[in-house]
Structure 1
Amino acid sequence: MTQDGSRAPRLTLVLGGARSGKSAYAERLIEALPPPWLYVATAEAWDDEMRARIAQHRARRPAGWETREAPRDLAGVLAGPATGRPVLVDCLTLWLTNVLLAEVDLAAETAALIEACARHPGPLVLVSNEVGLGIVPDNALARRFRDEAGRLHQRLAALADRVVLTVAGLPLVVKGD
């Protein structure tokens, strides 16, 4: 239940381009629910610029958020003890990058993630970059990333109760309320 008494969707997928406002919007969705809130971060701080981005995300969140790092074992975190607390995962495309670069069985990792999302008691908000609206990338790894992200988004959108596309900070509901 949200703080205004309405029922929250069990699974929400929030998509958008870079700097579209998707993370801030997803955080507001979770913060409309009673705490405690869990933020599952998939980013790895490989350089100063990424460390600054992570710090900016942390600074934006008020007290009441617990953060867990899951650059690779996202399914494991989501399949953990089912408390029913609101969970935000940010972001799936960073997780996908980590899995692709680790050169592990992507199909098995994706299947485990989909299963964990399907079983998660919710509410669960997943954030991901929509990367299929641009030009065709010029190298095989980038094309594979774009294709795998598109397939992952399609599978999660089919599973989701609500899908939102953010554009210029505005949420556009594609599926659900």
Structure 2
Amino acid sequence: MIHLITGGQRSGKSLFAEKLVLSLSESPFYLATSRVWDEAHRERIEIHKKRRGDQWTTIEEEKNLSLHDFTGKVVLLDCITLWINNFFFDNGEDDKESLRQAKEELDKILKQNCDWIIVTNELGLGGHPGNKIAMRFNDLQGAINQYIAQKADCVTLIVSGLPLELKNTLPKQ
């Protein structure tokens, strides 16, 4: 199962995703993709870790998600925005290469026989960026979100902490 959870910054995506994962597993995996770029960001990461507690197995992986085998597990991948950011900056201005590499990596991990809960940001809701770099990143983010949403069984948009189901192809129970 692949469940994509999207929404704006600080909309409650991660908290919603964490609760969903805990409803599916008593010993879930948290696949963290963020690089630590300053002390404030490090503190934010630590707050997230403390909130999750000890029942989670946390794996930090900036780009090469498929190096890890999650067969039979429930995995929270948080988040695509920070993950695609790593490709964006590593590849300079080659956005096509960033998208190609990200899709290739996603194709590998999504073939694993496990349950994926994937968190991403919906950047396109915030208006037009004021500079070329931000616009390039928004385009890349939008492309990878669409790619994942097409593959996902479920897609949920979080607005002000409230879930809005956009897609659900799973059999009704």
- Structure 1 counterpart SS, 2:156: strand
Aligned pairs for 1:128-167 within 5 A: 128-167=120-159
Counterpart contact for 1:16–1:165, Cα < 8 Å? yes
Question: CA, structure 1 residues 18+130, in 2 after alignment: closer, same or farther (shift >3 Å)?
Answer: same
Native 8 Å contact 1:35 1:85 kept in 2: no
With structure 2 as the length reference, what TM-score do the two structures score?
Answer: 0.89
The answer (yes or no) to whether the contact 1:42–1:95 under 8 Å persists in 2 is yes
Counterpart in the other structure of 1:67: 58
Q: Deviations over 1:127-177 (max 9, x none)?
A: 001100122112221111101111111111110000000011111111117
Identity between Structure 1 and Structure 2 (%): 38
CA displacement at 1:122 relative to structure 2 = 2.2
Give me the whole-angstrom Cα distance separating, in 2, the residues matched to 1:131 and 1:107: 16
Q: Report 1:1-177 matches (<5 A).
A: 10-74=1-65, 76-77=66-67, 80-103=68-91, 105-176=97-168
- Structure 1 distance, partners of 2:137, 2:9, is 16
- Counterpart Cα distance in 1 of 2:83 and 2:25: 27
Q: Mean Cα displacement is larger for which, 104-113 or 81-90?
A: 104-113
- What is the CA distance between 1:18 and its match in structure 2? 0.9
Unaligned runs of 5+ in 2: none
Check whether the contact 2:71–2:112 (CA below 8 A) recurs between aligned residues: no
Verify the 8 A CA contact 1:89 1:125 in the aligned structure 2. Answer: yes
Larger displacement relative to structure 2 (155-164 or 133-142):
133-142
C-alpha deviations, 1:56-81, integer Å up to 9, x for none? 1101102211111111212x24xx32
Alpha-carbon distance, 1:117 to partner: 4.1
TM-score, normalised relative to structure 1 = 0.87
Asked whether the 8 Å contact 1:89–1:126 carries over to 2, the reply is: yes
